Structure 1
């Protein structure tokens, strides 16, 4: 055997396999209605898709592998390379060392390859059929599982079983067709790759998702809801955050002519349960989507959503979402005429996970569509509507969720550190939002808010008994950095901007928008109308109890905020009590100093019933607690303010 010649021959076959795989991956993404990658993005990926199997082929050929054996082991090495990143993410998500995934990937593929060689040992034609089947199965499974988002979900597992059955059928069919003939694997792979890439250009045009038809004429005003996942209230310039340059000049401009709720609380510190609460007006334990017990649980079809109410009122209903948990399977699509879920840059190439895990960031590894492309899509959709159309448009951005990969010029000006990286991403999002805000017709209501915040290192030692990935930034606590979000309501022809300091629920937007739709809630909900946004006075007490719950890491936790007080209770028995006015960072747990206050607040949690003998005094309990001589002292000797309507829980309100 001429080993050098054989090595180059197998290397060529490996390059052809990678070339064909990338072309097939592109076409499959078009079939799944994913947007195409740009040509420069593709060119940056080609060296890895082609180079990795080529190098593996060079080594295999030098060792002495040839023919069908070389083809099967090429598949094994390439598949192992594809699996490294996803398995590292999977084990990291389970709280285990990601390195286990890097070790498991080659072990899994070696075991599969040995089993494959054993099962097809009777004749070479069967092995050629198996080689075709496993390449097809690998391509399909990789793309489909990325589209689904969770490879361990029931639908993903069902799809995987179907793909495996298809691979077996393909193996037997090709084996029978070949009989005893010996094809040249490298040549066949190259020709297949040429076919895939030859189809790519027309397929990219046909695969584009068309915009929906314009909404019908309506008497009620249109509404655009902008949700920025991970948007913290305390990093917005108009909320008092001081940086140079400012983080949010365009959001500031919107706030300057709107009704601003400075103390909005998210329903949950994760997108699926929090946005499901916005759509239903219910807390997570009442709508059951993305709860602690079942993080992937969809919104039940029986739930009545904002989009369904809008549709019933004659509105066209559209949503553009990017978060991995907001797929069509999340249940949030119900009621929308057009629900477009787009993760990744164009689509997310399979190889990106591994390249990022190995520290080779060819393209920014985003699990979501970046703001510039999402705004392009939203602007196009707005432009397709007639001037008299009545529609509800929901646009959800994921740029403020890690990893943070803002343009280099913004990163350079922000400085180093996690908070600076977040600020750079926020400046990028704010700049893109200007284009979206400019495209919205002037007589349209605009609601902008965060679904939840993110941790930037505020509570690194919280709940040490809970195993979680070291870079987890949301979903694991109920502290204010993950719950306090901005809520801005722009009312057309509103001449007087208003700042509201009372605490409200982020999901209070649901019944508020129903008032704009001129329709009524038909089911029991937990949310209340934001009266100030509608030009009305707020007659209820300013210290309403606001519940947040359902982080998806660790034991179930629930929090209730009432006035300056916040109580957190965990299923494992842990209790926490904070005074947010004097301790906005939630560093002084007052549970031992104020057990009666904690008990009072615990009765506000879902499913709790206050004892009969306490019901008479409960409404005034908090206010009486502030009288002279009864106000508690914090551990540092300070006294909390007594007027919950005069100061926000985090920072000083700016003049409007």
Structure 2
């Protein structure tokens, strides 16, 4: 071992110690600021409940602190390696002060690089992970382009490679092979780690196998996708060319209704073919007892029919993880309405730092609660997961059923580059440039539900939403192309769906599941493409998402479960007329606060924080308090649609309000015609009351 080798070895050891010190100091500063400004995700729960989780919170913070320290140290050590390489190249002695500056500078530069990349490509991630107003970053964002970020990387990594390369040449020339090997191995290790973390493996098309006598089924959905955004529905922007092309060889149902515009009850009805009062899921805040469905679900039925079943998605699909639908494989986060999961996401400052580095394979494996952060859709990632799952399932002999569900179109509408720029005004300077503003704190979300239209930059928000719709359509194309390239498209039934729509103040409020007057939450897109029947059909008759499960069973020739309340829509797909109009029933979800436009005397209950508890401390599931469950159900607005007529019901403290609308003549439901049509109103009222009290 030469003297230079000994010096390099000692300096690397000292440099690593300096990196540990810098990483520890930076991490402790982040932790201190996070604790001072502590704000966790999720709804607020009584302090008595939180006190029960003091030790768990300490564990969660310790876990996040460890990963923040690990990442900080690794980035600081890059500077230490460069400093030691300079010793070999320029011949100076190790100076701990300069080493600290080198390590700190490396940490700052690499963190800054990640921040700039996220600010351009995923600004919604920063918005959902921090306290800071995004307006502070507008001037910086305006300077960012993909070409400039590529140039920055070329300069940054080129200079690093040149510096270390020169140091290695110098060490090799002096035959200092130990120092040469150490620096080379550490550099290669960093390259491998960075390559693996950035690697987004796109599966190759597979060769279709299996029993081709029965078709595969793939359901692809986007949370909060409005029916009117699909091409062919009259919207002026052409957002969905892929959906339009698919509808050209499929059956498009223009008037499909969900029974409740909340994710958990909607998906439960879709997969069981039953109404919410039958399967028992009336909102997203289930009790542990409610997670055991009393009826059979489509994935479980299909498994008994010899199908392989799977589900993939981002945070929007997490409700599926607390209900036993019978999926054999799942790739999704845990239930996010869980106090333990939310505590693990930690306070916002340390979460912001971690989120810059964990939107990758390592983050998905080690910090899934940060990777699957609510408010940040993973459209492209879920698309890849979907294609990988298709490849996995298609290599088996059995047919398969796959459900893919994305948060792409869910508030706060934070799509990635370039989608958030596609329809928005670049000169816009309000708070909602990258995502709908003021939805990062639980109390902000509750307050925003009660704010009037004048408090929102509605044009900008709609522009962001439309970019999200285009994002979903483009990702759908990649999935459909993969099916085609794998030879699966001619034996796979494809279903496009949503769990509910979205209200943009058409009836005084925004969100989903708040109003039964308009159809903007209740009506969803539904397209069923069966490759054995490529005839284009557009069905304007009223159908329901409870009809989807029996329809899919009918299409594969399997018997429907006797408990299903929906009916098969297969006859529509063959151009047959309906025997009679199907009644579509709908109820609103849990209101977060008093809503604009609510009639005086409406039956009410406390706002969300007072409604919630954690009855099972071991599981951490957030549930409605039992004493409020009956009033929450009783206070729901309802509606029934039959043919062209729609009757709405709003419960009052003393009585109720009924309104009747003709959807064909008045699609926006602005003109109550109940006084002119008492017989129709009486007939629909009878149907609605039977459904409500079933």
Give the TM-score range, shorter chain: 0.5 to 0.7
Summarize the Cα distance change of 1:275–1:563 in structure 2 as closer, same or farther, 3 Å threshold: same
What SS is found at the alignment partner of 1:423?
Answer: helix
Asked whether the 8 Å contact 2:515–2:588 carries over to 1, the reply is: no
Distance 1:265 1:453 in 2: 10
Deviates more, 1:401-410 or 1:303-312: 401-410
What SS is found at the alignment partner of 1:514?
Answer: helix
Summarize the Cα distance change of 1:390–1:352 in structure 2 as closer, same or farther, 3 Å threshold: farther
Summarize the Cα distance change of 1:278–1:79 in structure 2 as closer, same or farther, 3 Å threshold: same
What is aligned with 2:390? 382
Summarize the Cα distance change of 1:356–1:134 in structure 2 as closer, same or farther, 3 Å threshold: closer
CA RMSD of aligned residues (A): 4.7
How far 1:340 moved relative to its partner?
A: 2.0
- 1:522 paired to 2:561: yes
How far 1:432 moved relative to its partner?
A: 1.0
Asked whether the 8 Å contact 2:262–2:284 carries over to 1, the reply is: no
1:374-432 CA-partner distances (Å, limit 9, x unpaired): 01011112123238540001111111101112234333331352211110111111111
- Counterpart among 417, 421, 424 of residue 412 in structure 1: 421
Distance 2:691 2:391 in 1: 49
How far 1:351 moved relative to its partner?
A: 5.8
1:115-142 CA-partner distances (Å, limit 9, x unpaired): x9xxxxxxxxxxxxx9xx9743534599
- Counterpart among 535, 556, 560 of residue 636 in structure 2: 556
1:331-353 CA-partner distances (Å, limit 9, x unpaired): 1x432111221389xx9993685
- 1:277 paired to 2:269: yes
Distance 2:590 2:424 in 1: 32
How far 1:367 moved relative to its partner?
A: 3.7
Q: How many residues align?
A: 446
Matching of residues 250-261 of structure 1 within 5 Å: 250-261=242-253
Distance 2:288 2:645 in 1: 31
What is aligned with 2:214? 220
What SS is found at the alignment partner of 2:567?
Answer: coil
Summarize the Cα distance change of 1:591–1:534 in structure 2 as closer, same or farther, 3 Å threshold: closer
Distance 2:473 2:521 in 1: 20
Deviates more, 1:531-540 or 1:493-502: 531-540
Distance 1:421 1:410 in 2: 8
What is aligned with 2:327? 336
1:426-468 CA-partner distances (Å, limit 9, x unpaired): 111111111011112122111111221011221225xxxxxxx
- Counterpart among 453, 478, 486 of residue 525 in structure 2: 486
What is aligned with 1:458? 506
Distance 2:573 2:672 in 1: 38
1:231-269 CA-partner distances (Å, limit 9, x unpaired): 1111122222122xx201111111111111111111211
Matching of residues 58-457 of structure 1 within 5 Å: 77-81=33-37, 83-86=38-41, 90=43, 135-139=58-62, 217=211, 219-243=213-237, 246-291=238-283, 294=286, 298-324=290-316, 326-327=318-319, 329-331=321-323, 333-342=324-333, 350=345, 353=348, 366-367=374-375, 369-384=377-392, 385-386=394-395, 389-416=398-425, 417=459, 418-440=461-483, 441-443=488-490, 444-457=492-505
What is aligned with 2:604? none
Distance 1:398 1:582 in 2: 33
Distance 1:600 1:392 in 2: 40
Q: TM-score, normalised by structure 1?
A: 0.59
- Counterpart among 543, 557, 577 of residue 504 in structure 1: 543
Summarize the Cα distance change of 1:314–1:408 in structure 2 as closer, same or farther, 3 Å threshold: closer
Distance 2:351 2:466 in 1: 22
What SS is found at the alignment partner of 1:394?
Answer: strand
Matching of residues 624-639 of structure 1 within 5 Å: none
Summarize the Cα distance change of 1:405–1:77 in structure 2 as closer, same or farther, 3 Å threshold: closer
1:510-560 CA-partner distances (Å, limit 9, x unpaired): 10111133221233222111033552623412x321112241227222211
What SS is found at the alignment partner of 2:539?
Answer: strand
Name structure 2 gaps, 5 residues minimum: 1-18, 67-103, 108-188, 336-340, 360-370, 426-458, 593-634
Asked whether the 8 Å contact 2:219–2:495 carries over to 1, the reply is: yes
Asked whether the 8 Å contact 1:404–1:421 carries over to 2, the reply is: yes
Matching of residues 571-610 of structure 1 within 5 Å: 571-572=651-652, 573-605=656-688, 607=690
Asked whether the 8 Å contact 1:215–1:391 carries over to 2, the reply is: no
What SS is found at the alignment partner of 1:234?
Answer: helix
Asked whether the 8 Å contact 2:513–2:522 carries over to 1, the reply is: no
Asked whether the 8 Å contact 2:584–2:642 carries over to 1, the reply is: yes
What SS is found at the alignment partner of 2:269?
Answer: helix
- Counterpart among 549, 566, 588 of residue 646 in structure 2: 566
How far 1:507 moved relative to its partner?
A: 2.6
Summarize the Cα distance change of 1:430–1:501 in structure 2 as closer, same or farther, 3 Å threshold: same
Distance 1:134 1:531 in 2: 52
What is aligned with 1:6? none
How far 1:583 moved relative to its partner?
A: 1.5
Asked whether the 8 Å contact 1:216–1:316 carries over to 2, the reply is: no
